[in-house]
Structure 1
Amino acid sequence: MSLQRGLSFAMGSVLLVSSAQLGMRWSMARLPSPSQWLQAFSQSALSYQDLAIVAGAIFAYALSMGCWLMALRDLPLGRAYSLLSISYALVYLLAASVPAFHEDFSAFKTLGVTLVILGVMTINSRRTPRIEP
């Protein structure tokens, strides 16, 4: 049961950090550079929607860290850490699939993502006995 719980928390961390990355990318592409935020804020030129997405992405990062800490309680570090790589593939696939991100698919990037996923599958294909402290 603890292995299943650890995997659930690890996947929660992956989904949250992927969402955070996509949210940051979307909003930062729409906002002025951070050095101009105070000026834009004083002129009411900042979109509250974009700022809310940045804040939501930061909150998603924090939740992701909480999930990650919980995953580390139940998974060996080698297995848990490899699962974080799934976020690279997920972000690439979503960013290239959603037109708002203006990203494109390429054979080279897709090959890289495929190799990452194969590596994660290889690392996690064998059951590793948990050593109790």
Structure 2
Amino acid sequence: MSLRRGFTFASASVVLVSGAQLGMRWSMTRLPEPTHWLDALRHGEVSLAAVAVVSGAIVAYALSMLCWLLALRDLPLGRAYSLLSISYALVYLLAASLPMFHESFTLSKTLGVTLVILGVLTINSRRPPSSRNCA
């Protein structure tokens, strides 16, 4: 077990899934309602950039899952799972910071994200108990 490798893969998973979430959000605001996709395609009213970003986000989700599976090889589930919560904070901070998402900072959201981060730090601040091999 390598904690460093586990944290590296978990961090990569967080970055990829956060990017995928933001990409999906950006794209879906530029695409027609799913019930109108066929009509929009017939009339050439589909943004190719938005379709490309959706496609990239799907690939990012797949790579995120691969990184997550690799992280689970080296991290205890409780620690690894808590790290996924960082993506909630990251998506919130980026969406509220970047004007293209039209999101805003609010006291309640910021407090919630702060509590999530404090929880992750609390869970991951203690050393995991050493596992003994039973032979």
TM-score (norm 2): 0.94
How far off its partner does 1:18 sit?
A: 0.2
| 1:50-105 CA distance string (max 9 Å, x none) | 00000000110000000000000000000000000000000000000000100000
In the TM superposition, 1:22-41 aligns within 5 A as 22-41=22-41
Show structure 1 runs of 4+ deviating over 2 A.
129-133
1:2 aligned partner: 2
1:121 aligned partner: 121
Partners of 1:56 and 1:113 in 2: CA distance: 27
TM-score (norm 1): 0.96
The residue type paired with residue 81 of structure 2 is Y
Structure 1 unmatched ranges of 5 or more: none
Partners of 1:131 and 1:12 in 2: CA distance: 26
The residue type paired with residue 75 of structure 1 is L
Paired residues in the alignment total 133
Counting aligned pairs with the same residue, the percent is 71
How far off its partner does 1:131 sit?
A: 3.4
Cα RMSD for the two superposed structures? 1.3
Partners of 1:41 and 1:130 in 2: CA distance: 58
1:49 aligned partner: 49
2:20 aligned partner: 20
For the residue of structure 2 that corresponds to 1:30, the secondary structure is coil
Partners of 2:103 and 2:130 in 1: CA distance: 41
Partners of 1:127 and 1:5 in 2: CA distance: 16
Q: Is the 8 A contact 1:85 1:116 kept in 2?
A: yes
Question: Aligned in 2, Cα 1:91/1:132: closer, same or farther, shift over 3 Å?
Answer: farther
Partners of 1:100 and 1:80 in 2: CA distance: 31
Partners of 1:89 and 1:73 in 2: CA distance: 25
Q: Is the 8 A contact 1:76 1:130 kept in 2?
A: no
The residue type paired with residue 17 of structure 1 is V
2:110 aligned partner: 110
Partners of 1:132 and 1:98 in 2: CA distance: 48
Structure 2 unmatched ranges of 5 or more: none
